């Protein structure tokens, strides 16, 4: 089965998505997500100028060899742009292989390990009362696990909190917006937030929180410790990930479970954290961590160290990634949870999807392949728009992690 065409489709139905379509001489095709928020065009170029020409004429059935060719065969390896491009190729090839086998992808991976996939959604508000309302709405929608983020008194803009109560979409301006940050105000406020949520909604709902890389290890240790009475499902991205020794320090100070990895793109980024049992959940995703092929390796490795999966699933990961991720989640033995930040109706209109939500859980559906397709004609009506993620500054103007 020879690859005859590999084309990149860029669209912006409310936000940018990059999709790779691989076509074969047997008429089967597959699609993969190649979206890298705020850096979309870099992946488009990586694919169009380098990877797509290399694919023509290759046997689409040889997923492993193509993965090795694009990764091991490259002198300049790793990095978000290149690994997102490889992920798109890999996802499209698994889609083709499952279609050729006339199976849903999860069957090809080894069959399902569970009946349904628990997801967590986001609840956020400008202050504690509106955040509590958002948590209540998520519970009404059936969610069993909820990520809670709130505006902080005295801090003008905060990660995870939408402007004016709408859906949160951080890449929202042509050039980076400037946000502000105060670690002191955040640390003083956040335990109060979780205290209120537990008081109002009790102990049965799973609560999660994303620090978004903003604390030093000792600050993160303090937060983890102060959040212990509210027994979070996880505290995410507590510290920047470049210096992984930070996690050792953090671990020594708290029993709050630790999640990390949405910005990782290689199994090597995860290795020490997993091997030393410094984390509880690994958040790598299909689209940013080299596709299904590398995600399986990461999960199998993690399973040796009691680390479970918790794939990133913000709206900048397209429905194609969500579809593929749900097949992976259905199969993976050491599944933890899957993030679900719902796409808008407009975004979803461009992609047909076999996956379904019901009462806090997803199933990937029984369509062959990964079950997601793109309506190219409709996609063409929504051309690319440049959108950047924000940058962050401390109150004195010092540039900080966003
Ligand atoms: O593009 C950046 C987003 O994907 C990220 O900010 C979302 O941290 C995120 C999350 O946990 O969903
Ligand atoms: Mg995050």
Over residues 323-362, the pLDDT tens digits come to: 999 999 999 999 999 999 999 999 999 999 999 999 999 9
Residue 173 gets which letter from DSSP? B
- In this prediction, residue 392 carries a pLDDT of 96
Query: Which among 159, 281, 330, 361 is annotated as catalytic?
Result: 159
CB under 8 Å, gap of 24 or more: what pairs does 68-75 form?
Answer: 71/290
Edge to edge, what strands does the sheet with 29-33 contain? 3-11, 17-24, 29-33
Cβ of 210 below 6 Å from ligand 1: yes
Per-residue pLDDT 10s for the chain (402 aa) are: 999 999 999 999 999 999 999 999 999 999 999 999 999 999 999 999 999 999 999 999 999 999 999 999 999 999 999 999 999 999 999 999 999 999 999 999 999 999 999 999 999 999 999 999 999 999 999 999 999 999 999 999 889 998 776 778 999 899 999 999 999 999 999 999 999 999 999 999 999 999 999 999 999 999 999 999 999 999 999 999 999 999 999 999 999 999 999 999 999 999 999 999 999 999 999 999 999 999 999 999 999 999 999 999 999 999 999 999 999 999 999 999 999 999 999 999 999 999 999 999 999 999 999 999 999 999 999 999 999 999 999 999 999 999
Q: What would the pLDDT profile of 117-156 be if each residue is shown by its tens digit?
A: 999 999 999 999 999 999 999 999 999 999 999 999 999 9
Atom number of ligand 1 nearest to Cα 37: 1
**Backbone phi, psi, residue 309, to 5°:** -85, 155
The residue count for the chain? 402
Burial per residue of 368-380, b for 16 or more beta-carbon CB atoms within 10 angstroms, e otherwise: bbbbbbbeeeebe
CA–CA separation, 254 and 227 (whole Å): 9
Q: In sequence order, which residues have a C-beta less than 8 Å from that of residue 50 and are 6 or more positions away?
A: 85
d(CA 15, CA 310): 24
With a 6 Å cutoff on the Cβ, whether 40 touches ligand 1 is no
CA–CA dist 256, 147 (Å, integer): 15
> pTM for this one?
0.97
Whole-number Å distance, alpha carbon 62 to ligand 1 midpoint, is: 32
Q: How many CB atoms lie within 10 A of CB 20?
A: 29
CB within 5 A of ion ligand 2: which residues?
210, 262
Q: How remote is the CA of residue 98 from the centroid of ligand 2, in Å?
A: 30
Whether 212 sits among the annotated catalytic residues: the reply is yes
* Residue 288 is among the residues annotated as catalytic for this protein: no
| Residue of 179, 209, 212, 340 marked active site | 212
pLDDT tens for 1-32 read: 999 999 999 999 999 999 999 999 999 999 99
């Amino acid at each position: 089965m020879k690859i005859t065409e590999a084309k990149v489709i860029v669209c912006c139905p409310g936000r940018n998505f990059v999709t790779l379509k691989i076509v074969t001489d047997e008429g089967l095709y597959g699609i993969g997500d190649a979206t890298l928020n705020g850096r979309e065009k870099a992946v488009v170029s990586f694919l169009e100028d380098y990877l797509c020409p290399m694919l023509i004429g290759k046997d689409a059935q040889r997923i492993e060899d193509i993965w090795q060719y694009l990764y091991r065969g490259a002198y300049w390896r790793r990095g978000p742009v290149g690994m997102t491009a490889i992920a798109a190729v890999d996802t499209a090839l698994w889609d083709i292989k499952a279609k050729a086998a006339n199976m849903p992808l999860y069957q090809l991976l080894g069959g399902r390990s569970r009946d349904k996939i628990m997801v967590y959604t986001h609840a956020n508000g400008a202050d504690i009362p509106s955040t509590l309302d958002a948590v209540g709405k998520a519970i009404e929608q059936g969610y069993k696990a909820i990520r809670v983020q709130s505006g902080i008194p005295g801090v003008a803009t905060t990660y995870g909190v939408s402007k004016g109560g709408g859906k949160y979409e951080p890449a929202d301006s042509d050039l980076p917006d400037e946000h502000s940050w105060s670690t002191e105000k955040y640390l003083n406020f956040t335990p109060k937030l979780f205290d209120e949520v537990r008081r109002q909604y009790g102990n049965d709902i799973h609560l999660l929180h994303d620090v978004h890389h903003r604390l030093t290890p000792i600050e993160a240790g303090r937060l983890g410790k102060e959040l212990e009475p509210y027994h979070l499902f996880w505290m995410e991205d507590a510290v920047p990930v470049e210096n992984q020794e930070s996690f050792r320090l953090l671990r020594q100070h708290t029993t709050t479970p630790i999640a990390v990895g949405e910005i990782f793109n290689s199994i090597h980024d995860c290795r020490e954290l997993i091997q030393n049992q410094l984390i509880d959940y690994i958040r790598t995703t299909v689209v940013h961590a080299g596709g299904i092929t590398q995600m399986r390796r990461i999960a199998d490795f993690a399973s040796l160290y009691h680390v479970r999966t918790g794939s990133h699933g913000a709206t900048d990961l397209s429905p194609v990634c969500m579809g593929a991720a749900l097949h992976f989640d259905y199969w993976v033995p050491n599944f933890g949870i899957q993030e679900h930040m719902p796409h808008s109706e407009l975004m979803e209109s461009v992609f047909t999807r076999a996956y379904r939500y019901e009462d806090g859980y997803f199933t990937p559906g029984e369509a062959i392949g990964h079950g997601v397709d793109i309506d190219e004609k409709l996609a063409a009506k929504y051309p690319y728009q440049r959108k950047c993620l924000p940058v962050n500054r401390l109150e004195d103007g010092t540039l900080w992690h966003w």
